Structure 1
């Protein structure tokens, strides 16, 4: 019986080690989080400088995006940023958005 336990302990330790391994984020997810963080920071910058939500939306509509999903995502991020009572600096908003996005993407895996 003791030999069985001695044989099972390395297997259990290896199993725990594999499950605790850090999950890696795909490069596409990193790009999306980074882009969204930049968009949130720009929206916060506009908000703090007194630009109206309407004017911020107009700026987004004029901008040329490289991917089809970006325009609607930028509009949504801007809307959420303006709805928030936060007065954080744009760099803090960028960092917070990126960290939360990465945490969300990793949790989905």
Structure 2
């Protein structure tokens, strides 16, 4: 009798554990990671082309953003990109930023 009860209980617990681990990224989170990755790639492009941090900040300030949080986040991403010593190509920066953002967002949930 114990074996009969233990089997369904263990299956239920295993399925709950799988559901908890199979977290998905919400569309808003995916958009934010994608947008941030594009911003990081553009900042790396500017950095590699010799544009100063001051000029990059001025470009960001002049740009019209669709959401209120975007301007400050773009400034932060640009500053971090300029502070970094990396000389990676912008596409590699985009991919790395996106992967790390997704990993961070999923870990946060």
Q: Shorter-chain-normalised TM-score: which range?
A: over 0.9
Deviation at 1:62, TM superposition (A): 0.4
**Local SS of the residue matching 2:50:** coil
When the two structures are superposed, what TM-score results if normalisation uses the length of structure 1?
0.92
What does residue range 29-108 of structure 1 map to in structure 2 within 5 Å?
29-108=29-108
After TM superposition, where is structure 1 displaced by more than 3 Å over at least 4 residues in a row? none
Two-structure CA RMSD over aligned residues (Å): 1.1
1:11 matched to which residue of 2? 9
Q: How many residues align?
A: 107
TM-score under structure 2 normalisation? 0.92
The gaps in structure 1 that reach 5 residues or longer are none
Gaps of 5+ in 2: none
CA offsets 1:58-94 (integer angstroms, 9 cap, x no match): 0000000000000000000000000000111111100
Q: Render the CA deviation track for 1:17-52: whole Å, top value 9, x for unaligned.
A: 332331011110000000000000000000011110
